[in-house]
Structure 1
Amino acid sequence: MLRGMTTFVLVADDVAAAAAWYTELLGVEPYFRRDAGGKPAYVEFRIGDYQHELGIVDSRFVPPRGTGGAVAYWHVDDIEAAFARLRSLGATEHEPVTERGEGFVTASVTDPFGNLIGVMFNQHYLDILGARRAA
């Protein structure tokens, strides 16, 4: 039933500010933008080995949300460096770098717009990527 992540959508009150922050974090500009009322209502980036889509939608277009919720973890090769970079850009620690078992280390932050972002060194991700490249 679930075949893989396609688009991960974050919410922000100021999509332009969020797009600028994520452009700095990711090092790429959004490839897609939709405006409403003269300002960005949705932007989308393509990132990573599989060009996953990371979208940011204006909070005007989503139901009210509470705190917490699911965390999407993105594989990173150097979790300490990724965690430090996120914090240097204004994200706040949600969960520190934590060893979860051999080959699995996680951390998470809250971005300046209230969204949770997880980073993970995930050996399984690297194994799958290596097998796909070898095929």
Structure 2
Amino acid sequence: MVPAAVLVHVPDVTRGLEWYNTAFPEAVPIYHPDFDFTVLDLNGFSLEIVQADEKVGVGKNGTVIYWSVNNLSAALARFEALGAYLYRGPIEIENGIFMCQVEDPFGNLIGLRGAIT
């Protein structure tokens, strides 16, 4: 099995798409008219920004996806400039690699993993 997609639940899909497309500038928005749904494609991996509801709300209640970055300090600074804030870390995990979590403006966590340069 290979990961194919992650769903990020937000209270406002339009705002969520705008924020995540800015946070992940390499993502290519792909609109699916049959479903009136836009996916952010990251080299074949789908970042799907979806409406939170009574079954799945927003927030830090479970799984955190970690994104590999070349420079953790620069990535953290960029996310903070976009309105995210440091939630946990950075902590060293192995061989000069660190990890941290940032909280997006909607209450969800984004994991970052990489070297601090």
**TM-score normalised by structure 1 residue count:** 0.72
Tell me which residue corresponds to 1:58: 51
Taking only the aligned residue pairs, the percentage that are identical comes to 30
| 2-structure distance, mates of 1:106, 1:96 | 7
| 2-structure distance, mates of 1:18, 1:95 | 22
Runs of 4+ in 1 over 2 A off after TM superposition: 32-35, 64-68
| 2-structure distance, mates of 1:121, 1:5 | 20
- 1:94 partnered with 2:87: yes
- How far is 1:94 from its partner? 1.2
Tell me which residue corresponds to 1:17: 15
| 2-structure distance, mates of 1:54, 1:22 | 9
Aligned residues: 111
Q: Which runs of 5+ in 2 are unaligned?
A: none
More helix by percentage:
1
Tell me which residue corresponds to 1:44: 39
- 1:82 partnered with 2:80: no
Tell me which residue corresponds to 1:105: 98
**TM-score normalised by structure 2 residue count:** 0.82
- 1:32 partnered with 2:31: yes
| 2-structure distance, mates of 1:73, 1:4 | 15
The structure with the largest alpha-carbon Rg is 1
| Deviation per residue, 1:37-79 (Å, 9 max, x gap) | xxxxx431111xx43110011113x614474311110111111
RMSD: 2.1
- How far is 1:4 from its partner? 2.1
1:59–1:15 distance in 2 versus 1, CA, 3 Å: same
1:64–1:24 distance in 2 versus 1, CA, 3 Å: closer
| 1-structure distance, mates of 2:81, 2:4 | 28
